[in-house]
Copies of this chain bind each other. A is one copy, B any other.
């Protein structure tokens, strides 16, 4: 049996803080068209795809507000939605969400081939700090600009045209947290969609990791968590140098064995396409990772009963 969904990762090169929204949207539409021309049915864009990675800056209220979407879609993103529907292609995209009640989240949606929003996710694992680090040129202010996601990890079904896959979404740092993957694994996820902006190194010198090691980390967590949950995964970067702050690339598509099917070679706008047989998840879900047969939650209490580490005496 095969249930094949043709999938694209639409990696984006850097988006400067001063790049007009129309330019960014045009880049995204060109990536969408390239993926559709290669037969892709679902295109995955990065986290915060419509803007620069603005949490690196301490912004005034006007610039901060301009980075957020107050509805989805809205006039500033409508051309992408229109082009996608015309092509009959769906997409995942990450964006900064401002709710009518004034809450701000680092969110993503998955849009079906008919333009309907199929699922929504709000990032749970926010890195960074609330207060700016004194003296640092580049900040990581996600804990300041966003609330923690309040939707949990809600899996959802894709349309029949996609072979009715069970889909899950994560945003950036979430992909390093096995709890998040397992919450979806326990809903039978068959395809995990993820966008990210990950610094290539610590621009302030507080960390010894370089771009090669960080790209390895990013790829490793996609591979291993896909394997341990017997799911396809696609993990998509905004890459390259954004106003002096470097982001890793390494966007990838991973099969349910954790094997890399495709990986980006550049730090620019780049499309990867792969045929994903969703039934390739079945062997893992029925044997090695047959959760009903093998999990022992009575020994996992520590995962929910404590937040931080508690060391032995």
Contacts and interface: CB of A to CB of B under 8 A. Distances in A.
By size class, the interface of chain A is: 35 or more
A311 interface: yes
B291 A309 contact: yes
Contacts of A299: 124, 149, 152-153, 179-180, 183
The oligomer's copy count stands at 2
Nearest to A285: B309
A299 B124 CA distance: 8
A182 to B, nearest CB: 6
A125 B126 CA distance: 31
A293 to B, nearest CB: 8
Given A220-B223, A227-B221, A257 B213 contact: yes
Contact of A224 (B126, B153, B221, B303): B221
Nearest to A126: B294
Contacts of A305: 297
A312 B157 contact: yes
B304 A301 contact: yes
B296 A308 contact: no
A304 B311 contact: no
A178 interface: yes
Contacts of A225: 178, 224
A103 interface: no
A300 B300 CA distance: 11
A304 B303 contact: yes
Contacts of A220: 220, 223-224, 227, 258
B186 A182 contact: no
A217 B221 contact: no
A92 B153 CA distance: 38
Contacts of A124: 296, 299
Given A220-B227, A228-B221, A294-B126, A303 B155 contact: no
Given A216-B259, A307-B291, A178 B187 contact: no
Given A283-B207, A296-B124, A307-B292, A302 B183 contact: yes
A159 interface: no
A223 B224 CA distance: 9
A262 to B, nearest CB: 17
B309 A187 contact: yes
A162 interface: no
